[in-house]
Chains A and B, each alone.
Chain A
Amino acid sequence: MEKFDVIVVGAGLAGLAAAHALADRGVECLVLERGDYPGSKNVTGGRIYVNPVRDLFPDLWPDAPLERFIVHEGVTLMAKERSVSFGYSGDELRTAPHQSYSVLRARFDRWLAERVEEKGAMLLTKTLVTDVLREGGRVAGVVAGGDELRADVVVAADGVLSLTAERAGLHPPLTPREYAVGVKEVIALPAEKIADRFQLTGNEGAARLFVGAATAGLFGGGFLYTNRESVSLGLVIGIAEFLEQDPPRDLPVLMEDFKRRPEIAPLIRDGVTVEYAAHMIPEGGFRGLQPLYGDGMLVVGDAAGFALNLGFTVRGMEYALASGYYAAQAILKAREAGDYGAETLAEYGRLLQESFVLKDFQSFQAAPAFVKNPRFFGHYPEFMGRLLRDIHAVPGGPKDRLYPTLRGHLHLRELWSMFKDFREVTKL
């Protein structure tokens, strides 16, 4: 019977980060990946913010196959018949080290897995974990390909659904309220067209978010990220909100409608869709986090719920990398103690607590409730659209005075509702 020091289930960012840090310290580590190659089952929107994890993996970033560094941030409030956009750019975004990059996971994860193998970890692809081995109440390994594989500790890095953590009894049933579903098309476009359409030079990139009619007024949004020679275009919608919608619309139809919007169509004109992907995303914030450890098991990345949506920034991958790194540190400490019980592995929770990971989740505990305010997706895009329409309108006759026009929109009831909505910002 095979016995390893550590078995990592899933060669995504969290699992590979854990294996990288463990192999770096000479720990015998087996990574099991069900896909054909690492990254083949993984999907991002996507953009990664590098700053929080730059120092955890100093030797990785210089050669990492990232797409473009983001220098333009755009947000569009999308009403049914019009839209209002604002953008931000700055020298701070154009200057190295760059804070965020667009990324495609099949390329990135495959590359990261090669670095992990170089460190001495063993990677087994095309291998599905079908069960968790338990012995005396603790996790003792996994079943994969019909074989029982034993380990001192198992790292559940198998993504948002984490059947591994569920089988170990560490995942209570997931609730639609705390998850969103994303769909994405990768649309190939020549680099010159991307540069022209998004006003970019060299390897600069742009990120755009679309709030409102993109998701038929439901919690979520549209996104667009420029890659080197493609754009990633997609929609994310809260699952509970989608189920409650009336009348029901089809998610694939919403995506097609989004692509046909006048704000989007010219950006992807002559582009060729080369891939269509779907993925589930944790949206529960701090309260949505899953148990992080048990006897003989640690839970990392999406499996633990490490994704955080603050409206303007939507983050997950750096939390995945960091959680894998800190899981590895906790395992190193457990090895010294020669004990892999939950009490020893609780060190993982303490390390996360001291790091940006749980500090962010605690700071932004109120974020899920704030960003799910239905008025941000239905009312405000329409409101801002009407306001800008009337400011810009030049009628056939004399134009109305500006102040009464503004007051027509910003009446007392509206101002009071706005005050109440934005008062919630103080909780963030």
Chain B
Amino acid sequence: MTDALDLKAKLGLDVFKTGGAPHIRIREGQERAPRLRRMPSLCPAGLYSEGDGGAITLTVDGCLECGTCRLVCGPEVLEWDYPEGGAGVQYRYG
């Protein structure tokens, strides 16, 4: 198995509840921000990827809500809030 599949499988073990709009969004025009470009290797859930021309895209499903991208990129680059109440990851062990 590739590491990307390992990670998908691991995230598949967690309980996620759906609800609300995506709680993290890359602000328009910030897709190539240098800090954002560090996220594909750093995000524990592998939710950031680099597309053609270095633009970063984000899939928020599987977010573990650790906050690392908020810390690294700041609110200027990411529109960031927690998922709405009762949504998102629900740790059963923690």
A-side residues, CB < 8 A to B, are: 34-37, 39-44, 104-107, 109, 125-128, 130, 144-145, 160-161, 163, 173-174, 176, 179, 181, 183, 185-186, 230, 232, 239, 242-243, 248-253, 256, 273-280
Contact indicator per residue, chain B 44-65, by CB within 8 Å of chain A (1) or not (0): 1110000000000000000011
Report the bound CA distance from A275 to B13 in whole Å: 6
Identify the interface centre among B44, B66, B88, B91: most chain A CB within 10 Å of its CB: B91
Is B71 within 8 A of A161, CB to CB? yes
Report the bound CA distance from A145 to B11 in whole Å: 28
Q: Could you tell me which residues of chain B, from 51 to 94, have a CB within 8 Å of some CB in chain A?
A: 64-68, 70-72, 74, 81-86, 88-94
Is B44 within 8 A of A43, CB to CB? no
Report the bound CA distance from A395 to B14 in whole Å: 50
Residue of B nearest to A183 (CB): B44
Q: Do A39 and B91 form a contact, CB below 8 Å, given A130-B81, A252-B3, A252-B44? A: yes
Q: Do A278 and B64 form a contact, CB below 8 Å, given A126-B85, A250-B41, A256-B3? A: yes
Is A42 within 8 A of B91, CB to CB? yes
Is A250 within 8 A of B91, CB to CB? no
Q: Of the candidates B3, B41, B43, B82, which one forms a contact with A34 in the assembled complex, judged by CB atoms under 8 Å apart? A: B82
B contact residues around A160 at 8 Å (CB): 67
A contact residues around B90 at 8 Å (CB): 35-37, 40-41
| 13 A–B pairs (Cβ distance < 8 Å), ordered by A | A36-B17, A39-B94, A104-B93, A105-B94, A106-B94, A109-B94, A179-B71, A232-B93, A250-B40, A253-B3, A273-B13, A275-B14, A278-B44
Is A181 within 8 A of B82, CB to CB? no
Q: Of the candidates B38, B81, B83, B91, which one forms a contact with A275 in the assembled complex, judged by CB atoms under 8 Å apart? A: B91
Closest chain-A Cβ to B33's Cβ sits at a distance in Å of 13
Closest chain-B Cβ to A160's Cβ sits at a distance in Å of 6
Residue of A nearest to B4 (CB): A252
Residue of A nearest to B38 (CB): A243
Is B66 within 8 A of A249, CB to CB? no
Q: Of the candidates A35, A176, A278, which one forms a contact with B45 in the assembled complex, judged by CB atoms under 8 Å apart? A: A278
Report the bound CA distance from A160 to B82 in whole Å: 13
Known: A128-B84, A161-B67, A176-B71. 10 other contacts (CB 8 A): A34-B82, A34-B83, A37-B90, A40-B91, A105-B91, A186-B93, A249-B41, A250-B3, A256-B6, A277-B64
Residue of B nearest to A185 (CB): B10
Report the bound CA distance from A230 to B6 in whole Å: 20
Report the bound CA distance from A403 to B6 in whole Å: 48
Is B91 within 8 A of A43, CB to CB? yes
Report the bound CA distance from A417 to B38 in whole Å: 33
Report the bound CA distance from A41 to B91 in whole Å: 6
Q: Of the candidates A181, A232, A256, which one forms a contact with B66 in the assembled complex, judged by CB atoms under 8 Å apart? A: A181
B contact residues around A277 at 8 Å (CB): 14, 64, 89, 91, 93-94
Closest chain-A Cβ to B40's Cβ sits at a distance in Å of 8
Closest chain-B Cβ to A336's Cβ sits at a distance in Å of 34
A contact residues around B65 at 8 Å (CB): 41
B contact residues around A232 at 8 Å (CB): 93
Is A181 within 8 A of B94, CB to CB? no
Is B44 within 8 A of A181, CB to CB? yes
Closest chain-B Cβ to A182's Cβ sits at a distance in Å of 8
Is A161 within 8 A of B94, CB to CB? no
Is B44 within 8 A of A251, CB to CB? yes
Report the bound CA distance from A249 to B38 in whole Å: 10
Is B46 within 8 A of A250, CB to CB? yes
Is A127 within 8 A of B85, CB to CB? yes
Q: Of the candidates A42, A105, A280, which one forms a contact with B71 in the assembled complex, judged by CB atoms under 8 Å apart? A: A280
A contact residues around B11 at 8 Å (CB): 276
Report the bound CA distance from A242 to B86 in whole Å: 32
Is A242 within 8 A of B64, CB to CB? no
Report the bound CA distance from A273 to B92 in whole Å: 13
Report the bound CA distance from A41 to B88 in whole Å: 9
Report the bound CA distance from A358 to B89 in whole Å: 33
Closest chain-A Cβ to B44's Cβ sits at a distance in Å of 4
Report the bound CA distance from A258 to B56 in whole Å: 28
Q: Do A41 and B89 form a contact, CB below 8 Å, given A256-B3, A279-B66? A: yes
Closest chain-B Cβ to A156's Cβ sits at a distance in Å of 14
Is A106 within 8 A of B42, CB to CB? no
Report the bound CA distance from A39 to B93 in whole Å: 8
Closest chain-B Cβ to A50's Cβ sits at a distance in Å of 18
A contact residues around B85 at 8 Å (CB): 34, 125-128, 144-145
Is A43 within 8 A of B94, CB to CB? yes
B contact residues around A130 at 8 Å (CB): 81
Report the bound CA distance from A45 to B63 in whole Å: 19
Report the bound CA distance from A7 to B15 in whole Å: 28
